[in-house]
Amino acid sequence: MTIAEKLLRIANRSMNLFVACLMTVLFLYGGYSLWDTWRIYHSALPDQDLMKLKPVKGEDSNPSLQDLQKINADVCAWLTVYDTGIDYPVVRGKDDMEYINKDVYGDFALSGAIFLQSANQPDFSDPYNLIYGHHMSNGAMFGDVVEFADEEYFATHETGTLYLPEKTCSITFFACVETDAMDSQIYGYIGEPDTTGQMQQLLQYVQEHAVQYRDIGVTSQDSVIALSTCAESATNGRVVLFGKLQESSDNKQK
């Protein structure tokens, strides 16, 4: 065997070894990426311990929610949208970035938490209450909000419940709007007392721009809740679901 042939054989072996090492690294990286993605989406689902603290409809107050507040004082409510994956406690941070990557326990989590905008009152006494949540493709967090843009889904998912420490409110959804993060009508009104007709302007804007709408007789005198999440197809796209908040009749009778 000539020197050239020996060098060629060594080069071939080296190349084969390099390719084998590269394939191993890519395989390990792919496996890690799949595991990491699964971990992120799985952590976005409420665990059994958290669900044990979910309030029970019909109670005089919501003691389990008060227990959750002992774990994290930022917890202000529990939001349930029936027949969807939306069933989470709601927190309110010192600003609107605090819970972007922090869960309800205050620990780091890429899926974040469901949070009320910091400009709103934690007791949901504002005329307009805006809640944010990440869009998770497995339906966790606010992943199901985007489904309300579909006519049939919107028609068959009408209600939800907002549990507060001392009372329970029913939610009747009336509109779904596709917009972007720069929408000043939806994201510029922070829910202060309505002295300039701003609430009426908001409701008119929502009706005119809604991809889905049902007339439930909502007025500027009502309390409105909005659930906002990212859209799938646009970088700054947003989907916002609007509902009318009403104190539960069970509370009023007690």
Spans of all domains in the chain:
48-253
| C-alpha 94 chain-centroid distance | 18
Q: What is the mean pLDDT of the chain?
A: 85
Q: What average pLDDT does this structure show over 238-243?
A: 98
State the catalytic residues.
134, 230
**Taking the model in full, what pTM does it have?**
0.81
Tens-place pLDDT, residues 102-132: 999 999 988 899 999 999 999 999 999 999 9
CATH 2.40.260.10 given to domain 48-253: yes
Decide the pairing of beta strands 128-132 and 223-230. Answer: parallel
Confidence category of residue 138, pLDDT binned at 50, 70, 90: confident
DSSP state of 84: S
Confidence category of residue 31, pLDDT binned at 50, 70, 90: very low
Strands (E), 181-222: 210-213
pLDDT at 4 (0 to 100): 63
Confidence category of residue 40, pLDDT binned at 50, 70, 90: very low
